[in-house]
Amino acid sequence: MATSIPRAMPSRPSYRALPIRRPRIFRQYSSQGQNWAGHPFDVAKDNVAQLAASPRRPLTLADLLKHGRPPLNREALLASANFTLSLLPARLASRIQALRNLPFIVVSNPHVSKIYHNYLHSLSTLLPYQQRRITTLEEEKQFGDVLADLVQTHTNTIPVLARGFLECRKYVSPADVTSFLDTHLRARIGTRLIAEQHLALHYASQPISDKTFDGADEPAPKNSIPSNYIGVIDTALQPARIIRLCEDFVGEICELKYGVRPRLKIGGEPEASFAHVPVHVEYIITELLKNAFRATIENGNEREPIEVTIAAAPDVPGNEPPIPGDTDTGFELDSELSSANGNETIGYSAPSSQSITIRIRDRGGGIPPEVLPQIWSYSFTTFSDMDFEGSENGNMDALNTISASGGHLSSIAGLGYGLPLSRAYAEYFGGSIAVQSLWGWGTDVYLTLRGVGRID
């Protein structure tokens, strides 16, 4: 087997990075002075219980698109901010309540406690805004700063929780951990998506000011944001392009570790496109390719290409039933939406054609029968404490640091989070991941991604 000259870890591909800026100051609304200043709001226990118990309707994909294509005008931008503000506090409160319901010894763990206090902090910065509507662009800008801090604060939620539950594995059963994490991490997807969607619309609609657009229904000046983007949603996303980006990244890491990289062939309909969230697709594809590349090389079949087939569902319009989502774990599809407040109208439909299936076939020997039933569980036993500590110093397996240059997912590698998280991202929009293993031969993985409907 050939060897390669060591070189720097390749940069994780990024289909499109969302600009996130940390706020300069937290501001609180003061009912006496009608201004924003001071310190985060104190969150009482009854605040959390009341918010967590409040009724919440399922969020729809149409909700993320209804404010129109950026740049937004003043009224649409304020509407997006108030819509975001109407959703986040209750969702944060429900996560705080779920953490409080864990056994005391688990919540007392410093890592789990850190996440708990991060949620308390984020809720405390949003509650002052919830006391009134955002009515000016200056308030919207301040809200954007707080929202950016919220996104940044929760960037490392997954690896920090992973470390906490790893340390508490003696006190809580694997089934209970899997149940909690599955709900918590799916809820995190929705909360983060809501926040990032408004931030993307906010940054794409600058510069805009009350002086220029006060009382006007005129859109903000055009900027360099691609026309196919509506916030964080790419309405013309090509899976083949993301697959090639992830192939290059995973391939370079294989060369670093093994000195070789398998070939990858894309067949089917490589030109197919649909509307989806690129960063979600990128994470799923990276994880699936990592598994396929690694198995292929370690099985000694690196000369056999990994076959990727892209298939778009037939273009047959129809009235499909809504995806059975709930307030934290999924979306429903609406049949039609239009933007308000003077922004362009978006024609929207949800035909079955907005579904793309990607098959990844490898000759990696398949999955051992005793392992196969466990691949969807959050596993904490195959990764020793020594390995976990070594990962912080860069001594971890190169393929296990697949997300290192991306930052926030590197330290969950080896814990069995990859496939469960990938499935959570796929299922959030009504998709799925299915694994078919031929022990002694190879594995087929079928990833179905359901888009948000055709957008004209």
Helix (H) or strand (E) holding 147: helix 137-153
Question: Tens of pLDDT along 168-196?
Answer: 988 988 888 888 988 898 899 989 999 99
In terms of average pLDDT, the best of 7-11, 134-138, 167-171, 349-353 is: 134-138
Q: Which residues pair with 355 in a beta bridge?
A: 450
Give the residue, 92 or 352, on which the prediction is more confident: 92
Read off the pLDDT band of 53 (50, 70, 90).
confident
CATH topology for 29-227 is Butyryl-CoA Dehydrogenase, subunit A; domain 3 (1.20.140)
Return the amino acid letter for 74. Answer: R
Per-residue pLDDT at 438: 96
Q: What is the pLDDT of residue 64?
A: 84
pLDDT digits (tens, 9 = 90+) for 372-388: 888 888 764 434 444 44
**Mean of per-residue pLDDT scores for the chain:** 77
Q: How far is CA 72 from the centre of its chain?
A: 24
Amino acid at 389: E
Task: Please state the rounded mean pLDDT for residues 113-129.
Answer: 92
Helix (H) / strand (E) element for 197: namely: helix 174-204
Q: Please tell me if the domain spanning 29-227 has the same topology as the one spanning 233-455.
A: no
> In the prediction, which pLDDT does 9 show?
56
CB 299 within 8 A of CB 365: yes
- Tell me how far apart the alpha carbons of residues 381 and 383 are, in angstroms, rounded to a whole number: 6
Interhelix angle 385-392/157-167, rounded to 10 degrees, is 150
Q: What is the fold, at CATH topology level, of the domain defined by 233-455? A: Heat Shock Protein 90 (3.30.565)
Output the pLDDT for position 211: 53
pLDDT: which is higher, 371 or 293:
293
| Structural contact between residues 277 and 234, judged by C-beta atoms closer than 8 angstroms | yes
- Average pLDDT (103-120) is 95
Residue 46 above 90 pLDDT? no
Model confidence at 83, pLDDT cuts 50, 70, 90, reads very high
Q: What is the structure's pLDDT at 210?
A: 56
pLDDT for 57-82, tens place per residue?
Answer: 666 667 788 888 899 999 999 999 99
| 348 vs 176 pLDDT, higher one | 176
Q: Where are the domains of the chain?
A: 29-227, 233-455
